[in-house]
Structure 1
Amino acid sequence: MIILNKYSACTSIIIGKKASTDGSIMIGRNEDCKSSWPKHFVVHSAKKFKKENVFKSNDNDFKISLPLTRYKYSATPEWTTKYGLFEENGFNEYGVAMSATESAYSNSQVLGYDPLVKDGIGEEAMVTVVLPYVKTARDGVKRLGNIVSKYGTCESNGVLFADKAEAWYMETGSGHHWVAKKIPDDSYAVISNQLSIENIDFNDKENYLYSENIYDFINKNNLQTSEDDQFNFRNIFGIRDVDDTKYNNPRVWYGQKMFNPKIKQGPKEHNMPFVRKAEKLLSIDDAQRFLSSHFEGTKYDPVGDGEENDKKMFRPVSLAKTQEAHVLQIQPKLPTSIGCVQWIAMGVAAESTFVPFYQGIDDTPEQYKKGEINYDPNSAYWIFKLAGVLVDAHYKYFISDLEDLQKEMKILIRQNMIKIEHQYKNKNNAWLTEKNNKLAEKILQEYQKFAYRIISKSTDFSPLNYKQNLDL
């Protein structure tokens, strides 16, 4: 029996340390689900359990016993636990970064032999049962892989891991089988709701990890698609259909167009490579720019000047259904507390601002822990969301105002980060928490002021306006 799930529809990016301008490793993703579905941002303190530490999912009947020691970690859970936690992304106290998940789809032939498991682990549980219990990115892949192999998974997904040494991308392709690839240090990858990992080298344990019996599973069930014995995970486990040409492929195309503009390929092409070397070194701004993109500079931009059919042809990277976007940046030359930065843009990335939060903070601003399904003026999610909604109502008139604000916030953030990182040497995490949260609160205040100005400007757009003709 094939179990069908309601998937979120995210977009991811991974950048290796030799591919970045400052030696950073970066993993990032847009968490897309509903246009109005608030997220929170929290820090869970380390904890030692005296008896049992059991996780029980609210989404299905997945249940697992966890280690008695839980490391400190950050996360962005949903506003409600009714459908599960969906903690989605964060750092733990060892500087391990995790983002879960990039929803994907497996073909019916593979699922016929190894169906998805109704009560297996899913997206909503992955960060919660993995991130607080691992010390390296590789350990994260192995822990999640062992859980999938033992308990099964209810979904096909991609999961991002990183630490100061390396970045990994892991994919679950059926009920119990998975693979993972270490992203080359000099390369990047962009992913969009497809199984993307290509050839697996079973003799290279340094750069590939995989479920124990996957090779035998392929051969036993005659699933191999290549005559030269190459194991191409994308081809064997994935799907390729017309929906990909409208929904998934164009996002990969645009990301690769941004970072490799000289390469000739079209937005509908199926076989774009999973990993590429960019034409220039990439910065944190490049990662955020990709997650905020909507085909700017092409006829496919939904808020551009193209023909209506073209503007509606492809699904953009940044869209109204984004709940939050994040980039987890690891700067190996800095102490973990300030070298690991969780950049979070609440709401639609294109209309929000990526706010930095250092791994060493012990708490988050109160506004980031608030927000339910109805608008709350004291919620960070809703403060950023309100600005976007107000701009959307008269987009061409107000987008330049929003872009000016975003530029001002980037400058403000950089100036504050330079001061914080310079002064942190002789300070503790309580000091870091105070300084970081003050910066975050300042950005929220500026967005609130912006909303007030746009409300005032919008009053003149009422359809009940009347301009008298003095010639009558």
Structure 2
Amino acid sequence: MFSSKHSSCTTILVGKKASYDGSTLIARNEDAGDAVNPKKFVVVEPEDQPRDYHAQLTKFAVKLPDNPLRYTSVPDAVPGKGVWGEAGINAHNVAMSATETITTNSRVMGADPFEPNGLGEEDLLTITLPYIDSAKQGVQRVGELLEKYGTYESNGIIFSDVNEIWYMETAGGHHWVAQRIPDDAYVIAPNQTGIQEIDFDDPDSFMYSKDLRKFARDNHLNLTNHFNFRKIFGSDTQLDRHYNTPRAWYGQRYFDPESVKDKSPMSNDLPFICHANRKITIEDIKFVLSSHYEDTPYDPFAPGADYKTVPYRPIGINRNQQLSILQLRPNMPSAYSAIQWITFASNPFNVLTPFYTNVINTPDCYRDTTETLDSHNAYWANRLISLIAADHYQALMADIEDYQLKEMGYAHERIAQVDKRISEKEAAGSHIVRALGQANARTADHMMKATEDLLTKLVVKASQDVPGSFTREHY
């Protein structure tokens, strides 16, 4: 069976009544098995979308519809190893993030084995996002594909539109469930099955494979009188308690400390649906998805800490490859309401850049990522920063935090400026798509200049104190 190389992501979902401005917000780190896995940010036009899709890492193949929508994607930059599109927004302002690799148990795998040549994370965004008009329709399409072709792994798949967020989890090779996230709630999903009690009489809140209840009953999977998807289809292992659960604990602690005051990082009963003690911002999501147990005994960057002995896996880690926060704003015209906030490499050391998605291309410094190092490219510049900063954390983090604060301020200011200018252009009948593309290019130029300046500063500072340093003062 093929095993996903992108296997340790972290997801945050924020309903429209829980967010700071009424947007639906879905976000996910893409973490690879290796520290370096170059990514790029692209737009896929309908004429470039395949009609006969063939996976590159398995024998999965499917004929796709003839009417794809334009969409954004964050695929691998190195060709020949699969698409791994990961996160994007289509021309109808439907967002998708795929996938949050999750866990299952041996009894489920025995009852419904994985399909070695089924669909998986490599494929899901490409074969789904161009063909859906709503978040719920995304669940329906993937559900049909799962039941027909099966999957070779367990995954959580996220869909959103301006009104709803749906989170979908697979179980075994062909079964699945999806839950609509309540508008006033948030979710943190850390590589383990999350959905809990299912109400089979509430089609507005739950969707599932046709035979889900019968499958669980016939195979003696449900050990209780309730239908708790996590307990039936998920896992509760030593790996979960050290690798997965602590991430949910830390995120819930950040959004409402009281909610976990009686819980430990290894608690196996943390809730799936949560409520924060305040409205949630883009900065909040970025902080949690960059976090490494700050202000706890488990921080691998704390003075004197040995990262090799820290008991819990952080969220912000060297294997972060890209982070996309997909924002669908209800208070703006649909022509420019969708924004994909994106950044590359290790999240404790990078900053988000906002891009409008109703465009026909992306800026070259985010689009044309090379297989070999190029410091003028967003992925590689951020990878270099993360490499230097991790080895000189205490000495360099003040500079990085100054950069992050300043450039996030710029990002919000930039959105406000572009919204105003595009609104004026719209009234004058100008071409919004072209104007948004030009605005994205200017935003990217600014962010790359700031990032290259930071990289230069860090190289200069770090070079002053390395093994082999020697000055005349040593005499």
CA 386–310 in structure 1, closer or farther in 2 if over 3 Å, else same: closer
Q: AA paired with 2:137? A: D
Residue of structure 2 equivalent to 1:110: 108
1:8 aligns with 2:7: yes
What residue number does 2:228 align with? 232
Of 462, 465, 469, 1:461 maps to: 465
Q: State the secondary structure of the residue aligned to 2:207.
A: strand
2: CA distance between counterparts of 1:14 and 1:284? 11
Shift of 1:44: 1.1
**Matched AA of 1:162:** S
Q: Is the 8 A contact 1:336 1:360 kept in 2?
A: no
1:53 & 1:15 partners in 2: Cα distance?
34
Q: 1:262 to 1:77 in 2, by over 3 A?
A: same
Three-state SS of the structure 2 residue aligned to 1:387 is: helix
Given that 2:113 and 2:173 are in contact with CA atoms closer than 8 Å, whether structure 1 keeps it comes out as yes
Rounded to whole Å, the distance in 1 between the matches of 2:304 and 2:269 is 27
Within 5 Å, which residues of 2 pair with 1:130-209?
Answer: 130-209=128-207
TM-score in terms of structure 1 length: 0.95
Structure 1 stretches of 4+ with a deviation exceeding 6 A read none
Residues 385-440 of structure 1: per-residue CA shift (max 9 Å, x gap): 11222222322111111111111111111221111011111241101110121111
State the one-letter code of the partner of 2:45: S
Q: Give 2:437's aligned amino acid.
A: T
Residue 259 of structure 1, aligned match among 255, 258, 269: 255
Where does 1:410-421 land on structure 2 (aligned, <5 Å)?
410-421=408-419
2:454 to 445, 450, 453: 450
- Partner in structure 2 of residue 44 of structure 1: 44
In structure 2, relative to structure 1, the CA distance for the partners of 1:221 and 1:463 (3 Å cut) is: closer
CA RMSD of aligned residues (A): 1.8
Letter in 1 for 2:398: S
1:43 counterpart letter in structure 2: V
**1:297 Cα deviation from its structure 2 partner:** 1.3
- CA offsets, 1:14-35, max 9 Å, x none? 0001111211110000000021
In structure 2, how many angstroms separate the alpha carbons of the residues matched to 1:459 and 1:301? Answer: 25
CA contact (8 A) 2:376 2:452 kept: no
Hey, what's the Cα distance between the residues in 1 that align with 2:256 and 2:397?
Answer: 28
Distance 1:96 1:64 in 2: 22
Tell me what 1:300 maps to: 298
User: What secondary structure, in the 3-state scheme, does the structure 2 residue paired with 1:18 have?
Assistant: coil
Equivalent-residue separation in structure 2 for 1:235 and 1:461 (angstroms):
52
> 1:248-294 CA deviation, whole Å, 9 max, x = no partner?
01000001000111122110101100011111111121111111111
**Residues 1:4 and 1:74: Cα distance change in structure 2 (over 3 Å):** closer
User: For residues 307 and 389 of structure 2, what CA distance do their matches in structure 1 show?
Assistant: 23
- Relative to structure 1, the CA distance from residue 4 to residue 283 in structure 2 (aligned partners, 3 Å threshold; closer, same or farther) is closer
- In the other structure, the counterpart of 1:73 is 71
Cα offset, 1:73, TM superposition? 0.2
Closer, same or farther: CA 48–445 of 1 in aligned 2, 3 Å: closer
Equivalent residue, structure 1, for 2:27: 28
For 1:83, give the aligned amino acid.
Answer: K
* 1:8 counterpart letter in structure 2: S
Q: Give, in whole Å, the separation in 2 of the partners of 1:4 and 1:457.
A: 41
Unaligned runs of 5+ in 1: none
Name whichever of 451-460 and 263-272 sits farther off: 451-460
8 Å CA contact retained: 2:119, 2:149: yes
Deviation at 1:306, TM superposition (A): 6.6
Give the conservation status (yes or no) of the 8 Å contact 1:168–1:183.
yes
Q: Distance in 2 between matches of 1:242 and 1:192?
A: 15
CA offset at residue 311 of structure 1?
6.3
Aligned-partner residue type, residue 440 of structure 2 = N
Aligned-partner Cα distance in 2 for 1:110–1:157: 14
Verify the 8 A CA contact 1:158 1:172 in the aligned structure 2.
yes
Give secondary structure in 2 for the equivalent of 1:262: helix
- Aligned equivalents of 2:297, 2:304: Cα separation in 1: 5
- Give the conservation status (yes or no) of the 8 Å contact 1:48–1:70: no
Sort the Cα spacing of 1:11 and 1:85 in 2 relative to 1 into closer, same or farther, 3 A.
Answer: same
Shift of 1:310: 9.5
Query: Contact (CA 8 Å) 1:370, 1:378: kept in 2 or not?
Result: no
**Displacement of 1:455:** 1.9
Kept in 1, the 8 Å contact 2:299–2:305? The answer is no
Gap regions ≥5 residues in structure 2:
none
Match of 1:431 in 2: 435
1:19/1:446 CA distance change after superposition, 3 Å? same
Q: AA paired with 1:304?
A: A
**Stretch deviating more after TM superposition (277-286 or 248-257):** 277-286
Q: Distance in 2 between matches of 1:3 and 1:464?
A: 45
Whole-angstrom distance in 1 between the partners of 2:433 and 2:369: 26
Corresponding residue of 1:210: 208
Shift of 1:11: 0.3
Q: CA deviation at 1:7?
A: 5.0
Partner of 2:127: 129
Structure 1 partner of 2:359: 361
Measure the CA separation in 2 of the matches of 1:187 and 1:16: 6
SS in 2 for 1:148: helix
> Given the superposition, is the C-alpha separation of residues 48 and 355 from structure 1 closer, same or farther in structure 2, using an over 3 Å criterion?
closer
Q: How high is the sequence identity, in percent, across the aligned residues?
A: 35
CA distance in 1, matches of 2:71, 2:462: 42
Relative to structure 2, which stretch is displaced further, 443-452 or 130-139? Answer: 443-452
Q: How many Å apart are 1:148 and its aligned residue?
A: 0.3
